[in-house]
Amino acid sequence: MLVFRWIQDIEYQLSKSKLGSKELHLVYRNLYQLISAGISYADGFENAEQWVAGPYKVQAMRNIRASLKQGKGLAESIYESKIFPHFDVILVQSAEIAGKVTEVIERLALKHKEKYQLQQNTKKQMSYPGFIMVSAIFLLGIPGLVKGEVTMSQYVFGNFAILGLIIALIFFTFKGYKVLVEEPNLQGVNQFLMRRVPVLGTFLKTINLEEYFFTMALLVDAGVSLVQAAEQAAKMSKNLIVKRAAAGVYQSLQDGALLKDAFQKEKFFPREFIPLLHTAEISGKYTQCFQGIAEQLKESGQRQQKTLTAVIPKVIYFGSLIYIGYVVLMAQQERLDAAKEVLGMIF
């Protein structure tokens, strides 16, 4: 049995050659179709290198197939490849134990497809406003450079803060929400946004909670006990705030608390889901309950994303307009000073 070695494995955690959401979707989708048709895991990975980009990932796919042919399990094989998220490794391992690999692979394919679509929508909505801002900042400074009124170094350093904002905007545009959700070095920023910033903070909270309940549903459906599922879901959460709240739920369940009481004790979790959790405890349908909550959160997150993508461009346009007005005003400063002198002489 594969031990949860990823917790201590620093090399695996810090690997920079992980598969992206699009690649993960392709891998899981094709693998699901093949194993559903009765093809073995090893044969399913026969042409897997076509689903990924980059020599390191291609070789990793070949190594997975070789490991499977040697008789190793699917979870252990993808773990050793170091290109799959540890989130997926644990889910696949649990599915192997419960004999539900096909179902979990299908859900992972859908999950990564949705994540990729969210990233693409973010890029699409932010690209044009970002272009407008970059154009406004760079083009308005060109006349001063041409006339020799400012040097290149003065122009660059004078707009240092604005250039930093451009870099941050471009970085967010091409990384999408993943930067704020998953990047360990930005967890402090993430916590601040979730707690203090309207709309954006709510959106970040929603997508983190959706992933947590999605994980709980997969683990329980894969045959993991409720307490163990709560423990693993807490460890697998990428967000510190969710991780702490989830750890509190696990501790309460381990101490013998009811499911609804465990979640109710942690104020971070929405109160409207408590009755659903209570019903699940009575009926024993935990998987359906967690799936239902995850679906509600996903729909809520999609609505919040639409709000964000409607508000952020307007903020960028407004900021660009203010900047243009400021530059124009500064360009006319000499004339304004001359007018003031004339008015001063008259009056």
User: How sure is the predictor about 261, in pLDDT bands with cuts at 50, 70 and 90?
Assistant: very high
CA dihedral sign, ordered 232, 233, 239, 244:
negative
> Which of 106-110, 222-226, 284-288, 328-332 has the weakest average pLDDT?
328-332
**Which is higher by pLDDT, 47 or 71?**
71
Q: For 10-55, write each residue's pLDDT tens digit.
A: 344 444 467 888 889 888 998 888 888 888 888 888 877 788 888 8
What is the pLDDT, as a whole number, of residue 307? 79
Q: How many CB atoms lie within 10 A of CB 29?
A: 18
What is the pLDDT, as a whole number, of residue 150? 62
User: How sure is the predictor about 159, in pLDDT bands with cuts at 50, 70 and 90?
Assistant: low
Q: What angle do CA 101, 269, 208 make, to 5 degrees?
A: 50
pTM of the complete model beyond 0.85: no
What is the pLDDT, as a whole number, of residue 90? 81
**Which is higher by pLDDT, 178 or 60?**
60
User: How sure is the predictor about 134, in pLDDT bands with cuts at 50, 70 and 90?
Assistant: low
Yes or no: say if 216 and 209 are a contact pair by the CB < 8 Å rule.
Answer: no
| % pLDDT > 90, the chain | 7
Cα gap 295→220, rounded to integer Å:
16
What is the pLDDT, as a whole number, of residue 344? 64
Of 163, 278, 269, 167, nearest to 212 (Cα)?
Answer: 269
User: How sure is the predictor about 151, in pLDDT bands with cuts at 50, 70 and 90?
Assistant: low
**Which is higher by pLDDT, 115 or 278?**
278
What is the pLDDT, as a whole number, of residue 263? 93
How far lies 199's CA from each of 196, 205, 300, 301, in Å? 10, 10, 12, 10
Place of tokens 């031990």: 3
What is the pLDDT, as a whole number, of residue 248? 93
What is the pLDDT, as a whole number, of residue 95? 82
Q: Which domains does the chain have, with CATH numbers?
A: 12-109 (1.20.81.30)
Yes or no: say if 123 and 174 are a contact pair by the CB < 8 Å rule.
Answer: yes
Q: What is the mean pLDDT of residues 62-90?
A: 88
Classify residue 272 by its DSSP letter: G
Of 231, 125, 216, nearest to 174 (Cα)?
Answer: 125
Average pLDDT score, the chain: 76
| Residues sharing a CB contact under 8 Å with residue 62, sequence separation 6 or more, in sequence order | 48, 49
The number of residues making up the chain comes to: 347
What is the pLDDT, as a whole number, of residue 115? 82
Cα gap 112→103, rounded to integer Å:
15
